[in-house]
């Protein structure tokens, strides 16, 4: 499978590397392919990994991953070109965070809306699935925790798209839990803040969520 990753930050590069380890071909999209992190990533990544503009990555991918700073997301989607993502699965990893100097981040959208829903509105012809947003990038691929694998909650309007993302998550080492339509992102995005608060309080960033059931 060809994967277009919109975003060259930690998440974009970690997920890009993970997809290549699973044998997929990846193009990372960025406004600046000459950026050191991007050049280093391409140099170290497996064969079949490349970088390009947001539009080139969107066009390249059979599926896309959206991993951009929230405040730059609308612009990144415009640069990617919604038509280049039409009909495709878009895995939305974004969190709509507002950062503060001496306090945890807060949400720019919440309760009655979410980044996931906004992304789906910006990409009306794409199949947006929220995933990966409630854990740090260091644990996104093959997580190992005492107590077994954590759960990845996912939300999206297209059942087939969620089946594909569930399979991808299994390959990444995550059981997926489908919580329904994309409006479920209203519940998943605050989990990121809970994850950050626990990390800040404990000074450890090695935690993830699991739903216990019998
Ligand atoms: N960091 C984590 O562990 C983690 C975990 C879960 C979810 N998330 C979420 O995942 C997303 C990515 O996080 P990150 O830490 O990898 O990186 P980030 O610093 O939040 O985002 C970097 C990406 O955003 C793009 N960007 C920034 N401003 C832009 C603008 N005005 N127009 C177009 N693109 C713009 C950058 O483009 P260029 O490449 O052109 O610079 C870069 O590709 C965020 O929404 C974050 O909340 C992060």
How far is the centre of ligand 1, averaged over its atoms, from the C-alpha of 8 (Å)? 7
Whether the per-residue pLDDT at 47 is higher than 90: the answer is no
Strands 152-156 and 127-130: antiparallel
**What mean pLDDT comes out for the span 62-88?**
98
How far is the centre of ligand 1, averaged over its atoms, from the C-alpha of 94 (Å)? 8
**109 CB near ligand 1 (under 6 Å):** no
How far is the centre of ligand 1, averaged over its atoms, from the C-alpha of 7 (Å)? 6
**SS3 of 197, please?**
helix
Tell me the pLDDT of the chain averaged across its residues. 97
What is the predicted pLDDT for the residue at 46? 83
Prediction pTM value = 0.98
Q: Which residue reads 């600046």 in tokens?
A: 32
How far is the centre of ligand 1, averaged over its atoms, from the C-alpha of 213 (Å)? 34
Q: Largest alpha-carbon pair distance within the chain?
A: 51
Six token digits for residue 41: 């990533």
Report residue 48's pLDDT band, with 50, 70 and 90 as the boundaries: confident
**What mean pLDDT comes out for the span 30-51?**
94
Q: How far apart are CA 146 and CA 72, in angstroms?
A: 36
Q: Which of 115, 111, 113, 110 is nearest to 93 (CA)?
A: 115
pLDDT tens digit string along 109-136?
A: 999 999 999 999 999 999 999 999 999 9
Residues above pLDDT 90, as percent of the chain: 98
Mutate which of 4, 12, 69 for ligand 1 pocket (most atoms within 8 A of beta carbon): 69
């Amino acid at each position: 499978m060809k994967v277009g990753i919109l975003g060259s930050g930690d998440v974009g590069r970690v997920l890009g590397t993970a997809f290549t380890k699973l044998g997929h071909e990846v193009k990372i999209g960025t406004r600046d392919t000459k950026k050191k992190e991007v050049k280093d990533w391409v140099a170290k990544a497996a064969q079949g990994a490349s970088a390009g503009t947001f539009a080139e990555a969107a066009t390249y991918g059979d599926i896309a991953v959206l991993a951009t700073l929230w405040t730059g997301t609308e612009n990144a989607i415009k640069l990617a070109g919604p038509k280049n993502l039409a009909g495709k699965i878009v895995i939305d990893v974004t969190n709509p965070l507002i950062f503060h100097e001496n306090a945890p981040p807060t949400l720019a959208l919440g309760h009655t809306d979410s980044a996931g829903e906004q992304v789906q509105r910006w990409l009306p012809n794409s199949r947006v699935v929220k995933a990966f947003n409630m854990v740090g990038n260091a644990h996104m691929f093959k997580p190992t925790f005492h107590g077994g694998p954590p759960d990845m909650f996912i939300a999206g309007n297209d059942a087939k798209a969620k089946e594909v993302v569930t399979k991808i998550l299994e390959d990444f080492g995550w059981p997926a839990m489908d919580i329904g339509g994309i409006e479920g992102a209203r519940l998943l995005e605050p989990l990121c803040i809970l994850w950050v608060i626990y990390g800040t309080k404990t000074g450890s960033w090695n935690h993830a969520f699991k739903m216990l059931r019998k």
